[in-house]
Chain A
């Protein structure tokens, strides 16, 4: 037990008399009668008290102290800088990774939507549909030697296609 060890250490190293040791001269635990029990636990622990006066001590200036402080601060700054240097890109990379993945998904979605729109456009421009529309709007192919004059302002597509003067 720690207290016992301490006790024995004090006795052996300092040579101080333990308080109350006279009250139990030649105290031998093994010498007690077997029917005698201890009155309180750890009665063999004794505390020593030695008053010390350090008021006369004067703290001297350590010439290496400031250097140690600055070194410590520098090391701390370097460690923090290194930590930031290593951790910040990783964190930024992680955040960028999220952004890149989101953008990739968006790109895929946009490509898909474009493909769907292309398909719709092709379906709308299929010859069969165009012919049906032409039939519905009563468009006819001009016959041989037949000239078709466009009414100014009434047609749409061909007038718009004319180059501006």
Chain B
């Protein structure tokens, strides 16, 4: 090769080689930049393009009634978002969206314009829309509308049991009622999965990163049908009697299962919480709001007396002609009774009689028994915000407190506590804690029953049976005749507490009317407590005319729903209209009725023994002694019980059907405390 040619060729080779090396270097550098320097960023961008994270919804558990009917359930619904930048015509878009979703068009247009101007690619339009709205919007096929799946709580029965179930907030977390109390159990844990997409964003594979865990289903002891009737009757009575609030509790006295808890006013948990209205408006008044029970409390005073004293249903009680002066205070009865039997004190709801019996029991024992009945402590129903009520400590009692407490004043109890205490009488003397949740069901199908809390004995069975008879007397011939039900025997006690207006600083003619009872008498299946706060209309606003009819309707429905056999012939029971027997007002007004109780104002109280003369049988009192035995032969059990209760004769019966024989014989003189044995047969 010649030097010239070699030089030329080599230089060209060198040039080309340099170009190739430079090209390779550029590629190499680019590869380093792409795969090392920009590795993470490019990997993220690729992942964003090829994959997408999708939340796996974990539905909140359902709340069911005792028959498994859903009271609350969560459904997957769509939430609508838009890309303001991609909207071709904001004005038209806002018109369409506002029309379909029920939004304010000018407001939405403003948001879209602001979002588009700011270059935002995401704007929520409406969260958790109705399925129908979602379908309508999807039919337009807008590519700038994004639909995201979320969960929403529905209450198919509207306001039914709203105060029991409670509600959830925007994030589907419970904010009141059982939704709050069992929020952890009801809430699910959302999962997450990675979807692999093709270029057209169609998923062809997925990887579950975190499994979703659905919430547990909770079965309540509430019965939807009984709850409905309880709310309906409560609302009707509240409107008719101008009551501000009211409650009804229906409870199985043997198991403690709460079958219904109605509050008035109620609310629809489907409606979001309005601004300015606190959660207190969504509380369950049956457990959150204590009140002065009034005369229904006499049941517990008399129960304590039967347990701790030698008083019997036939023991005459001096009612002092309708008034009593207790440590400087004068307490009046609505009727002037000279003397009543122990049983009639309850049937006629004599305040003076109850005070006398309370004095016989004594402060300490009465206080002890009230605590045994479950007052002054939470029932543990599991509902948030439950009040323990108020039974003052014994050292805080004034000398005259026993007089007030004996007839249901100076104490505050909740309707649930009353139901629990009434169950003691109904079930034979045991305090059975109420429960509202029967069981929980896990997503895998495992059923976990709620533990049953142990019952404690409060009354002896004989005392409980006696109190049943005494409470039946209230319904048969006392202040609660409006509680009579066709087909079933019933027992109960009315209560009326006059309200004190703290603004006017005086007692007003408004009442807390209540009724507490159970049915059937011999084998109680339901306990029903009715309270209406702020009734008016004089005696027409008392517990007998106002609350007892609610008891009748609710209890008869509950017995029918529970398939409880009838224990009376189905003959319509004539209901007596307003009668003096309705007066059960427990007057807290003492010597100066216009003043609230002022225990500290009592000075130099006389000794109790001075106030309580020995029981004296007045001339007009038809005592047990010397009474002749009624003739029960040939009469039905119902008729015999009515007659015996009215005449104050203690009976003991055997069998069923028609009375065939009795001992002692009809017309024979009964000795005090003697029991008439009646044999029934068919």
Residues of A within 8 A of B (CB): 1, 4-5, 8, 29-30, 44, 94, 97-98, 101, 108, 111-112, 115-116, 118-119, 122-123, 126-128, 131, 143-145
Contacts and interface: CB of A to CB of B under 8 A. Distances in A.
Contact of B75 (A5, A112, A123): A112
A97 B570 contact: no
A93 B158 CA distance: 48
Given A30-B3, A44-B2, A126 B158 contact: yes
A145 B75 contact: no
Contacts of A29: 2-5
A97 B205 contact: yes
Shortest Cβ-Cβ A-B pairs, 9 listed: A122-B156, A144-B570, A97-B204, A127-B228, A144-B486, A101-B203, A126-B157, A1-B9, A97-B205
B18 to A, nearest CB: 18
B430 to A, nearest CB: 33
A4 B9 contact: yes
B215 to A, nearest CB: 15
Contacts of B158: 126, 128
A143 B572 contact: yes
Given A44-B5, A119-B154, A119-B156, A127 B205 contact: no
A116 B3 CA distance: 93
A4 B160 contact: no
Given A29-B4, A30-B3, A112-B76, A126 B156 contact: yes
B614 interface: no
> Of residues B3, B203, B225, B571, which shows the largest number of chain A Cβ atoms within 10 Å of its Cβ?
B203
Nearest to B226: A127
Contacts of B2: 29-30, 44
A123 B76 contact: no
B271 to A, nearest CB: 15
B206 interface: yes
B5 A101 contact: no
A144 B487 contact: yes
Q: Secondary structure at chain A's binding surface: helix, strand, loop or mixed? A: helix
A122 B131 contact: no
Contacts of A8: 1
A1 B4 CA distance: 12
B486 A94 contact: no
A122 B70 contact: yes
A143 B3 CA distance: 131
A154 B43 CA distance: 74
B114 to A, nearest CB: 33
A116 B570 contact: no
B131 A123 contact: no
Contacts of B228: 127-128, 131
Contacts of B1: 4-5, 8
A126 B160 contact: yes
Contacts of B204: 94, 97-98, 101
25 contacts: A4-B9, A29-B2, A29-B4, A30-B3, A97-B203, A98-B204, A101-B195, A101-B204, A101-B205, A108-B76, A112-B75, A115-B73, A116-B75, A119-B156, A122-B70, A122-B73, A122-B156, A122-B157, A123-B156, A126-B157, A126-B158, A127-B160, A127-B225, A128-B158, A144-B572
Contacts of B73: 115, 118-119, 122
B108 to A, nearest CB: 26
Given A126-B157, A144-B571, A1 B5 contact: yes
Contacts, number: 78
B502 to A, nearest CB: 37
A112 B156 contact: no
Interface string B211-244: 0000000000000110010001000000000000
B202 interface: yes
A147 to B, nearest CB: 11
A115 B1 CA distance: 91
A24 B387 CA distance: 127
B202 A127 contact: no
A154 to B, nearest CB: 26
Interface string B124-141: 000000010000000000
Contact of A127 (B3, B75, B195, B224): B224
A126 B71 CA distance: 10
Contacts of B70: 118, 122
Nearest to A115: B75
A144 B569 CA distance: 9
Nearest to B157: A126
A4 B224 CA distance: 106
Given A44-B2, A98-B204, A101-B203, A128 B572 contact: no
B223 to A, nearest CB: 11
Interface in B171-214: 195-196, 202-206
Contacts of B76: 108, 111-112, 115
A135 to B, nearest CB: 12
Interface in B443-497: 486-487
